[in-house]
Structure 1
């Protein structure tokens, strides 16, 4: 509910051309229990808000990170999982930041309602 509450709080201040980027996860596309279910909710909120706010010129997207190299994940993400990624490495915070900056920029002025997987090819959707 956090993403919804924050959106409601900032909405009166957003103008034409504003962008919202929600935090999802590739867990939304896998059998990962309640965490994955929560991220599916973020994805649906993202596309619903994109449709609702598009008329006001507000874009809404989300980033869905895959396995990311952080101090917390180094001990829990198995090397076998990393070898299964198309790019054969864990993501970095910089990988996600670059996507975030793109989605917030004018370069993404025609992008809304999208969940961008930044996951090294972990999840492939048709």
Structure 2
């Protein structure tokens, strides 16, 4: 029960890795706001948390809209008194377009960056005052190993998110708020299977040191560590949970 009496927000928690994050935090005692643009999915996850003995709140949010993220933070603060932990997991991924930078529709490109990059900043800006008022907290951003690859605008957003993580860590350290990121490798989710064609999966797995796709639960341990007091002197770091896909010496 590392997070007993802690209040957490997980964005994009209606499915996939975000759902696993929300449920794992609730299982360790946190009160968890399941925040998602898809309110039906958020409701489902929150109800499953409650049925397992945890405490959860479903919140609809569009992280690309600063006003929506402030409403999210206000809803959680009103319900539970504050915010201690923030997981910026929301992103456009499942079903995303994979088009060249030189020809992708610019309105789509700008919306993509508004969600996948700026969304984390919007949520941090909305939540950090409560964290600071409560003496500190922790933020984890969801990056990707794509940040170190040539993967078009998805890679650009994740590489920029890594830089955002470092800069927020520097700005918020004085308020005792730590900011880190997790960079998952290829993970077996419905979203991944909608993006990666089936014939590409076998060679992708063979390129990994650990010869299998990850699962959402493979990333949970890293999340819980980075949010916990065990990581009290860890900030501004990008932790890859990727089966050995990326090696940085």
TM range (shorter): over 0.9
2: CA distance between counterparts of 1:41 and 1:73? Answer: 21
1:12-91 alignment runs, 5 A limit: 12-15=129-132, 16-74=135-193, 76=197, 77-91=200-214
Match of residue 222 from structure 2 = 99
Which structure's relative contact order is higher, taking Cα pairs within 8 Å and 6+ residues apart?
Answer: 1
SS at match of 1:72: helix
Structure of higher CA gyration radius? 2
1:17 touches 1:109 (CA, 8 Å); kept in 2?
Answer: no
Measure the CA separation in 2 of the matches of 1:98 and 1:45.
Answer: 23
User: What is the CA–CA distance in structure 2 between the aligned matches of 1:7 and 1:73, rounded to whole Å?
Assistant: 26
Tell me: CA distance 1:37–1:58, structure 2 relative to 1, closer, same or farther (3 Å): same
Q: Which moved more, 1:78-87 or 1:8-17?
A: 8-17
- If the length of structure 1 is used for normalisation, what is the TM-score? 0.94
- With the length of structure 2 as denominator, give the TM-score of the two structures: 0.49
Q: Aligned Cα RMSD in Å?
A: 1.2
4+ residue runs over 4 A deviation: none
Give per-residue Cα distances to partners, 1:49-71, cap 9 Å, x unaligned: 11111111110000111000113
| 1:78 alignment partner, SS class | helix
Q: Secondary structure at the match of 2:190?
A: coil
Aligned to 1:11: 128
Residue by residue, what CA displacement relative to the aligned partner does 1:73-106 show, whole Å, maximum 9, x if unpaired?
A: 3463521110110111111100111111111111
Find the residue that maps to 2:150 and give its secondary structure.
coil
2:157 counterpart SS class? helix
